[in-house]
Amino acid sequence: MTHRYIKIGATAVVLVGALAGLMWSTLREGTEYFKNIDEVVTNRPAWEGKRLQLHGYVVPGTWVQRPNSLDYKFKVQNNPARQTTSGGVVDASYTGILPDTFKDEAEVVLKGKFGPEGFHVEPNGVMAKCPSKYEAAAKSASAGS
């Protein structure tokens, strides 16, 4: 009878260990944090090398494309009303095609990692929303009520 309980116990330990190992290896690479610019800027070294989804707004006049390439550099800030380039501003770089809604003061979520030169956005890691597209619909909807 004791021999049977040892087999059941050993099987349970192996299954729990395998499940824990699978969860750890899967979540280690797949974990991303969703943070606003100001949350990250206050303690940037703690976030370097970690996968992030970074929420902010494109600083007007800061995004430029390198000639004859799909390389872009731009700045992102937390508060669209603040037009300064000091304080809560992050330099970002991206290689690829930008969404049509990417423009000055556009609300963006960037997927990538911090590096020594700023935030490096991964391929297809720019999601942009154009507030002007949605404001007209919201105003006309409230006017009809």
pLDDT at residue number 8: 92
Give the predicted TM-score (pTM) of the model: 0.67
What digits encode the pLDDT tens for the residues 91-141?
Answer: 999 999 988 888 888 889 999 998 888 899 999 899 988 665 555 555 555
The answer to whether domain 32-137 has CATH 2.40.50.140 is: yes
What are the boundaries of each domain within the chain?
A: 1-31, 32-137
On the question of pLDDT at 85 being above 50, the answer is no
The CA-CA-CA angle for residues 76, 79, 84, to 5°, reads 70
Q: What percent helix, strand, coil does the chain show, rounded to 5?
A: 35, 35, 30
**Neighbouring-strand partners of residue 90:** 76
Which one-letter DSSP state was computed for residue 80?
T
